[in-house]
Chains A and B, each alone.
Chain A
Amino acid sequence: MAEIGELLVSAVAAGSIYGLMALAYLLIIRPTGVINFALGEWAMLGAFAAVALGSDLLIPALHLPHVFSFVLVVVVIGLLAAMTEILTVRPLIEKGAPILSPVLALLGVLVISLQVGTLAGGTEALPTPPPFGFRRVEMGFLAGTPQAFYIIAVTCVVFAFAWFFFERTVWGKRFEAVAINRRAAALMGINLRAVGLLAFVGAGIVCGIVGVLAAGASGAFYQMGLPLAIQGFTALVIGGVGRVEGALLGGIILGVIEALAARYLPIPSSLVLGVPLILLILFLLVRPTGLLRSKEDMV
């Protein structure tokens, strides 16, 4: 059945993007408890940066090969995230402000990022050349664009790295410790500031990656941030905040359900929009902690 193969690839590619956004949220939420709504706009900025660096649009003089523009975008958004953490989130957390304050401050950052992106990037959809071109690629019964397979591959690498980071490295353990009990972690000598900064930089890097991948798929667009933000936390809610694998699982599930609904649900096309929203509401009501339980819950 060629159809299922095509549908699966595009659904998993979409789900990969959702999963990456969910991962970005998770990286910040776990150690700091802060939900950063500005992540969608950071991905948008990453996408425009990818266009500026990797194509002859926006900045014609800069037209770098994909690898270089990829790395540079990731560095730029990572720096943006670091700046945000140092200037807006850290002062609030250290002042002892209620957890809501950083969230609201990040809403301000959302608005600022959105406006800067729109004014700098313009209102057209701008692409960056997909590193592997465009055509129909078939792998067994699966079929999709090279970009779709590329997105899935990059996502696997990112999640593998994230899993390795949390499971096998000291810094990952520190993150977990801070997530479980902030005060105890501080008492044990863990540098809360460093963890916080690393959390944001990690999220920024992931958003930059999303931006590069999206720019090569359907272009950078000034209004792409909000849908990404919503898709991201929908995936997070479905998969569960507790584990990195949850973010990927949630993303894939969201992508697949969306695709199946759009393809097979016998309702008018304009109502299919409601499916992800209903899915989100259902999970929030029935199982807000998501499908995968975090380690501490399972103990």
Chain B
Amino acid sequence: MRNLFSWFAALVGLSAIAFAMSSYHLELYQKLLLVVILAIGFNFLFGICGQIAFSHVAFYGIGAYAVVILTFKLGWPLAAGIAGGIAISAALALLVAIPTTRLEGFYLALATLAFAQLFLVVVGAGGELTGEDEGISGYALPDFFGIPLTGAAYTPVIVFVLLVTLALILRLDRSYFGRSCRAIRDNPDAAQAMGVDVARTKIVVFVLTSTLAAVAGMSYAFVNNFISPPIFDLERIFELLFMIIIGGTGRHAGAIIGAVLLFSVQFAVEPFVGKFHTLIYGCVVLLVILFAPKGLMGVWDAMIAGRRNRDVGA
């Protein structure tokens, strides 16, 4: 009960802050929460399971487009639209995962990168259905018992998705499945020898994390009630990757901190560095990889270990 209580407290707390913010900061906050969701899932796929897939943001887009097209272009009820979106995302993820499990490292990266580009090409050629490059707008969620789910009132939805994603990932991580994933990341042959079904595990991880990204995408669709292809650009996956690296690859806290840091700092330093902020990011990532490869969490761990050693020594 206490465990459930702390999750509920997080839901309330993270949602309540939203009501105290100006509309600009609220917008940033909601987008930040969504980026954190993506980071947590991507960290599991890349940091914990060692799968270099560049399709995470594409699935974010697939989820967004699926729910909007099913619900507002084809007229399905919202619940069916969401369920349909999840089904489509999972199916596509399966379609991508099954043939690519045989691919090692960079080939998987290339295949998923090609898939991500293909997604943009398909959306760009989809005519009225996908809105092509102009995107789809002018839709909105139905009111929730009379409360319009816009602005601060929409935050609980995003927070809910965030907490569910986090809970699921944490649960997976601490199970045999999580250990299998780490084994696959560190030494696939040894894992296979130890009885881990490497191919099946990889497929499950890919489908699961991609579907979680799709659900996050569905949440995104209703933040501004507008979706268009440039939002799901290739740049975004690089940004996500950098967040994981700087935060600490393979660490949940690292993913969260990396996402929060890179997202917020971008807006905070912009008045000072203007159009140079992406350049600075690139440099920071490079420095982190060279000098602090375990990221911020690695630095934090080292600090704690140092303190502990000092305490013991005295």
Residues of A within 8 A of B (CB): 35, 88, 91-92, 97, 99-101, 103-105, 107-112, 114-116, 119, 226, 230, 233, 237, 268, 270-271, 273-274, 277-278, 280-281, 284-285, 288
Contacts and interface: CB of A to CB of B under 8 A. Distances in A.
B124 interface: yes
Nearest to B277: A115
B121 A112 contact: no
Contacts of A97: 293
Contact of A105 (B103, B125, B279, B286): B286
B286 A109 contact: yes
Contacts of B289: 88, 92, 101, 104-105, 108
Contact of B121 (A104, A233, A274): A274
B118 A92 contact: no
A116 B111 CA distance: 28
Majority SS of interface residues in chain B?
A: helix
B100 interface: yes
B279 A119 contact: yes
Contact of B125 (A111, A115, A268): A268
B121 A277 contact: yes
B117 A112 contact: no
Interface centre among A101, A107, A109 (most CB of B within 10 A): A107
Interface of B: 52, 99-100, 103, 105-107, 110-111, 113-115, 117-118, 121-122, 124-125, 234, 238, 241-242, 245, 275-276, 278-279, 281-283, 285-286, 289-290, 293
A271 B114 contact: no
A109 B111 contact: no
Given A115-B276, A115-B282, A284 B110 contact: yes
Given A111-B282, A112-B279, A273 B121 contact: yes
Contacts of B100: 284-285
A116 B113 CA distance: 24
B290 A277 contact: no
Interface centre among A91, A226, A288 (most CB of B within 10 A): A288
Contact of A108 (B99, B111, B122, B286): B286
Contact of A35 (B106, B282, B286): B106
Given A268-B125, A284-B114, 13 more contacts: A97-B293, A100-B105, A105-B286, A108-B285, A112-B279, A112-B283, A114-B278, A237-B110, A270-B121, A273-B121, A273-B124, A277-B117, A281-B115
A99 B185 CA distance: 13
Given A271-B121, A277-B121, A226 B107 contact: no
B118 A277 contact: yes
Contacts of A280: 110-111, 114
A112 B289 CA distance: 14
Contacts of B290: 88, 91-92, 105
A99 B52 CA distance: 12
Contacts of B275: 119
Q: Give 8 nearest A-B pairs by CB, closest first.
A: A111-B282, A108-B286, A115-B279, A112-B282, A108-B285, A270-B125, A105-B289, A285-B99
A116 B242 CA distance: 18
A104 B283 CA distance: 12
A107 B238 contact: yes
B282 A109 contact: yes
A111 B293 contact: no
Contact of A278 (B118, B242, B293): B118
A91 B245 CA distance: 18
B139 to A, nearest CB: 24
Nearest to B120: A273
A270 B121 CA distance: 8
B125 A103 contact: no
15 contacts: A92-B290, A100-B105, A104-B285, A105-B286, A108-B286, A110-B238, A111-B279, A114-B278, A115-B276, A237-B107, A237-B110, A274-B121, A281-B111, A284-B100, A284-B114
Given A104-B241, A107-B285, A288 B107 contact: yes
Contact of B106 (A103, A119, A271): A103
Contact of B286 (A112, A119, A237): A112
Given A104-B245, A108-B285, A115-B276, A281 B121 contact: no
A225 B42 CA distance: 26
A230 B279 contact: no
A103 B104 CA distance: 14
B111 A284 contact: yes
Nearest to A236: B110
Contacts of A237: 107, 110
Contacts of A288: 103, 107
A92 B289 CA distance: 9
A284 B107 CA distance: 7
A284 B102 CA distance: 10
Nearest to B50: A100
Contacts of B234: 226
Contacts of B52: 100
